[in-house]
Amino acid sequence: MKNALIVFLKSPEKGKVKTRIAKTEGEERALEIYRLLLDKTYRLAETIASKQVSVFVFYAGNPSELERWMKFSFYSQEGKDLGERMLNAFKTVFEQGYQNIGIIGSDCYSLTDKHLQLGFEIVEKYDFVFGPALDGGYYALFMKTRTNFIFENMTWSHPNVLADSIRKIESMEQTYYLLEKLRDVDTVDDWITLKANTNEESV
């Protein structure tokens, strides 16, 4: 298989996930919401794995809380910040011979296997493919060449992450493509909006 998907996860531990939601809704509710997001991401990983894509899970926290994910290639995240952790994950997977590699987290409930398959197709023609998030970041990134600059000297978790990334790409005279814009679930308002726009009973 030439395509691989990296999934970045935190173990579902009370007080350590969805901290912005916990500030207003409490740690128990924040953990409950995170578990729902994790369940949806797990189903997505299973689906994409059935379509000739290798899945690599990179976790932070207690691995015993993520036992079912160990059916996939399973690694701990390594690095001082998010950029270094993502760079090291891409390095690990590229070194195993994969040609097209994507990365996602577990915050985007609306993300589907169709988005991922499209990302793998389009990255054949572009240097980078992003799944832009409504908050100014991105829910997915695809590359076909190991590239360091996209992860280095970045300020993460702010509204200009995607814009800053695009400026870097343009300064290097490389190409990019943007998929459909989707909502990450980081705040209570994100969750309320998601519930209002989905028919799934589990939400």
Give the integer Cα–Cα distance in Å for 191 and 30: 10
Superfamily covering domain 3-196: Spore Coat Polysaccharide Biosynthesis Protein SpsA; Chain A (3.90.550.10)
* Per-residue pLDDT, 203: 64
As a whole number of angstroms, the distance between CA 96 and CA 74 comes to 14
Residue 199: pLDDT above 80?
A: no
Calpha distance 37→62 (Å, rounded)? 18
Across all residues in the chain, what is the average pLDDT? 95
pLDDT category, 156, cuts 50, 70, 90?
Answer: very high
pTM (predicted TM-score) = 0.95
Per-residue pLDDT band at 200 (split at 50, 70, 90): low
Q: Residue 197: its pLDDT value, please?
A: 80
The encoded tokens of residue 191 equal 């969750």
197 vs 96: CA distance, rounded Å: 40
Task: Give me the pLDDT at residue 22, please.
Answer: 93
Mean pLDDT of 55-61: 97
